[in-house]
Amino acid sequence: MGYTIAVTGKGGCGKTTISGLMISSLIRNGMAPVLAVDADPNSCLDSVMGVTVHKSVGTVREEARKIAAANEVTGVSKRELLELKISESLVEAEDFDLVAMGRSEGPGCYCYANNVLGAVIREISDNYPYVVIDNEAGLENLSRRIVKSVDLLVLVAEPSMNGLRTVARLYDLALEMGIEYRALAVVVNRVRGDGVSAMADEVAQKIKADYTVMIPVDDEIAGYGEKGMSLRNLPVENIVVREVDRFMRTVMQRGEE
């Protein structure tokens, strides 16, 4: 599996924005093709990346289930059918591919189809140097073990005391759930001034984060979000683009060490 980055955090804190910018940065730094995984059923990583998903993995799983139930499978195993179907849900762009997970089958479901899908996604991801997973708020997807362990867990925080406390709680939850990661990053998003930096350092130290990243609030990014424009069209001079670039270059450097 390629170097896997999973992004999580509270609702609306900027997970999809940060995921999209990290993917663009990796591409700019010669890491194409990147595999983008949209693991949030309500998310829109595809529009942030300027592509459209027609079929989620959840949809494909249901289709495969119906075909199998109607006994229309002749000479094709259930696993092969799922493998075949998953290729239908992969959106191929020039320098990245994107797959959207869609709905889960409910909490605590470790059924056969999910296991196969997890295995297939792990297989697919061997073809990419980097995999970036945009998760829904909380740690559901990671706990569902679509991805067993990640190289870098990115916790995105709101720039406030409560936001940072949430990150500390997410960390405790990750430990409780046995989520495995090699490196941990705290990304404080929409920062104004340096009012929260001491608090961010304190939390980062407490949870033994390897990276503490401060991303400023930016009108241009907000404008793109409001209009639903793809972040791929942002100028490289944009302050947030530059900060995410800096973060990704450090990650890539450490990955090579």
Ligand X SMILES: Nc1ncnc2c1ncn2[C@@H]1O[C@H](COP(=O)(O)OP(=O)(O)OP(=O)(O)O)[C@@H](O)[C@H]1O
The residues that touch Mg ion, with contacts defined as CB under 5 A, are 15-16, 43
Interface mask toward ligand X for 94-133; x: CB under 6 A: ----------------------------------------
Cα 190 to Cα 196: distance, rounded to the nearest angstrom: 11
Contacting residues for 161 by C-beta, under 8 A, at least 6 apart: 196, 199
* Sole binder of ligand X in the list 3, 4, 17, 22 (CB under 6 A): 17
Q: Output the furthest CA–CA distance in the chain (Å, rounded).
A: 64
In whole angstroms, the minimum distance from the beta carbon of 177 to ligand X comes to 19
Applying CB under 6 A, among 78, 225, 238, 250 the residue interacting with ligand X is: 225
| CB nearer to Mg ion: pick between 16 and 104 | 16
Minimum distance from CB of 39 to ligand X (Å)? Answer: 10
Packing angle between helix 57-69 and helix 78-88, nearest 10 degrees?
Answer: 140
Burial of 230 (0-12, 13-18, 19+ CB in 10 A): middle
**Cβ proximity to ligand X, 26 vs 234, nearer residue:** 234
DSSP per position, 54-86: SS-HHHHHHHHHHHHHTT--SS--HHHHHHHHH
Residue from 2, 4, 15, 153 in contact with ligand X (CB under 6 A): 15
The yes or no reply on residue 239 touching ligand X (CB under 6 A) is no
Binding of residue 242 to ligand X (CB under 6 A): no
- Candidates 49-57, 102-110, 175-183, 216-224: pick the segment binding ligand X (CB under 6 A): 216-224
Cis ω on the peptide bond leading into residue 33 (within 30° of 0)?
A: yes
End-to-end, the C-alpha distance of the chain in Å comes to 18
Q: Is 232 in the site for ligand X (CB under 6 A)?
A: no
Query: Amino acid identity of 52?
Result: T
Residues counted in the chain: 257
* Of 89-97, 99-107, 113-121, 219-227: span binding ligand X (CB under 6 A): 219-227
Contacts (CB under 6 A) with ligand X, residues 136-165:
137
Find the shortest distance in angstroms from Cβ 75 to ligand X: 42
Query: 181, 149 in Cβ contact below 8 A?
Result: yes
Number of residues that bind ligand X (CB under 6 A): 19
- Which of ligand X, Mg ion, none lies near 189, with the C-beta cut-off 5 to 8 A by kind? ligand X
* Span near ligand X by CB under 6 A; candidates 14-22, 75-83, 180-188, 200-208: 14-22
Interstrand relation of 130-135 and 3-9 (parallel, antiparallel or unpaired): parallel
Asked if residue 255 binds ligand X (CB under 6 A), the reply is no
Burial class (CB in 10 A: 0-12, 13-18, 19+), 119: middle
Positions that interact with ligand X (CB under 6 A): 11-17, 40, 43, 137, 189-190, 215, 217-218, 221-222, 225, 240
